[in-house]
Structure 1
Amino acid sequence: MSQHIHELIDKRWSPRSFANKAIEMDKLEKLFTAASYAASCYNEQPWRFVYATNEYPEGYKQLFSCLGEFNQMWVKTAPVIILTLVAKNFARNQNPNAHAQHDLGLAIGNMSVQAMSMDLYLHQMAGFSVEKAIEVFNIPDDFEPVTMIAVGYLGDPSQLPDSIREMESPKRDRKNLDQLLFDGDWEKLK
């Protein structure tokens, strides 16, 4: 564990292998409550979530159908799928909200830490059809789908196809801080 960050942040990673175990409803509520406590521009809280558990197959199949083929190979073991969306405009004045995706990221950050505190894992995905999500869920024009998330307890990587199992590792490669922090000299970042 890194000596300088909280253990929940240190152990966070995005597995593709999930256990065949339902997530208790009170834990799901805690995940969404944690997200709701995130900071947002003008406190707009522009994020929205469409979710389904595999205990409700109709909604689960709808969300699953929006995923790309690669993600469908492994997501099928996750007991919960979430579609994240943001409001495109501020509710207060209908001006474009250029910070909505940032605010969603903060909400998912909160959700990630809350998940880790309950031994749950999230895997965010960009590999889905925005167009299909809009169609399937009749999403109005003033909302934009952003990501999908698989949620569950950690599973056995041996259940994954060989090609995916090779990618399954909690080891994370992170850039050094000297690659991320700078004093305004853009040449140093190249």
Structure 2
Amino acid sequence: MMIETIDIKQAKTRYNVLDVIRKRWSPRSFSKYPLMPEEIETLLEAATWAPSAMNEQPWRFVVASKEDEEKFRKLADFLVPGNRVWAENAAVLMVVFGVTTYARNGKENINVGHDVGMATQNLLLQGVSMDVYGHVMEGFDKDRVIEEFQLPDNIRPLTMLALGRLDVPDLLEEPYYSREQSPRTRRSVEDSVISFPEM
């Protein structure tokens, strides 16, 4: 069942920003409906087209859909309890990694966090256009992920994503139910802009 109060989570913006930006939020209540393989591929394709320094594309993803129970459970096990309690209801879990060095010269890529964030946002906005919503999580055991996947030292886990279609929040426990219902807020544009020093 699709959430009936989705409009309360739309950002109330002062300016006419795109609908997918206004509608993007981080739900915790996901429906039982799966995401089709082509939907997952579409989300990943959107991520692929994010800008990145020197076109390094430093993002990598590990993806598990609910239908692949063993892989899904493995990713869910990395989550801290406060995230796992709701995220394991999602249709898809992902671990998002960043490659911390440039392929061309092996030097440190100081832009990795920014660029992987751009790719993640592409994925999330594409999802909104498809009625698929995502919640980015930092609360997971990164050391266990590193050990489990035995990746090179220059590939490190940054976040996890829970993805799926929305459901009503009624089955969420507190404090998650109240968080799901609360209106979205942001500081003003003016408070995010640093003024030039007086000349």
The verdict on a shared fold, with TM-score over 0.5 as the criterion, is yes
Given the alignment of the two structures, is residue 40 of structure 1 paired with residue 45 of structure 2, yes or no? no
Corresponding residue for residue 158 of structure 1: 170
Corresponding residue for residue 16 of structure 1: 28
Corresponding residue for residue 135 of structure 1: 147
TM superposition shift of 1:24: 1.1
Corresponding residue for residue 188 of structure 1: none
Corresponding residue for residue 121 of structure 1: 133
Q: Among 146, 159, 176, which residue is 2:188 paired with?
A: 176
* TM-score normalized with structure 1 length: 0.94
C-alpha separation between the residues in 2 aligned to 1:10 and 1:47?
25
> After alignment, is 60-69 or 135-144 more displaced?
135-144
Corresponding residue for residue 62 of structure 2: 50
Unaligned residue ranges in structure 1 (runs of 5+)? 186-190
Unaligned residue ranges in structure 2 (runs of 5+)? 1-11
Given the alignment of the two structures, is residue 27 of structure 1 paired with residue 47 of structure 2, yes or no? no
Corresponding residue for residue 73 of structure 1: 85
C-alpha separation between the residues in 2 aligned to 1:177 and 1:166?
27
C-alpha separation between the residues in 1 aligned to 2:132 and 2:175?
24
Corresponding residue for residue 100 of structure 1: 112
C-alpha separation between the residues in 2 aligned to 1:124 and 1:184?
33
Question: Alpha-carbon deviations, 1:103-157, whole Å to 9, x = none?
Answer: 0011011111100000000100000010011112222211010000000000120
Contact 1:15 1:169 in 2 (8 A): no
**1:147 is aligned with what amino acid?**
T
Corresponding residue for residue 100 of structure 2: 88
C-alpha separation between the residues in 2 aligned to 1:163 and 1:169?
10
* TM-score normalized with structure 2 length: 0.90
Moved over 6 A (4+): none
TM superposition shift of 1:182: 2.1
Q: Among 12, 16, 19, which residue is 1:7 paired with?
A: 19
**2:61 is aligned with what amino acid?**
F
C-alpha separation between the residues in 2 aligned to 1:43 and 1:85?
16
Question: Alpha-carbon deviations, 1:63-106, whole Å to 9, x = none?
Answer: 11110010011111101000000111000100000001100011
How many residue pairs are counted as aligned between the two chains? 185
SS at match of 1:167: helix
Corresponding residue for residue 4 of structure 2: none
* Residue identity (%): 36
